[in-house]
Amino acid sequence: MSESTPSLRIFACLPVAGLLAFCVLILHEWWIVGVVADPAVLESYRFGSESMVSHCGTKYVSQGAYAFAAFRDSVLALALASVFAGGYVRRSVRLVIGGYALLFCGLVVLYAT
């Protein structure tokens, strides 16, 4: 990216902010469900119920599956944010475009399952 194209910098910074916010939210879910594991809070999630599993997917099969999925998703979001941050720092259009391609593929996989 050259200095004359500030819009490319915006296209690199916006996903970093969004992915980091997503990472913080999902890590908070992991902390609540996986580490703290308050029984009153866990009861509200209704892990293992047929309606939750059929509507929301297999991550609601158990508390451990949900915690693992939350941790996995946050690590992947952090890795993807680092691709965008690398594109911003190196001023590399290829990294930014590659980050968007990875983001698109990740969303397709996330919503296809």
If pLDDT is split at 50, 70 and 90, which confidence band does 113 have?
Answer: low
Give the total number of structural domains in the chain. Answer: 1
% residues pLDDT > 90 (the chain): 41
Domain that holds residue 20: 6-39+69-112
% residues pLDDT > 70 (the chain): 95
CB distance 14 to 81 below 8 Å = no
If pLDDT is split at 50, 70 and 90, which confidence band does 104 have?
Answer: very high
Q: Which pTM was predicted?
A: 0.81
The helix/strand/coil state of 78 is helix
Is 103 within a domain?
A: yes
Chain segment 6-58, per-residue pLDDT in tens:
777 888 889 999 999 999 999 999 999 989 988 888 888 888 788 777 777 77
Is 10 within a domain?
A: yes
CB distance 19 to 80 below 8 Å = yes
Is 61 within a domain?
A: no
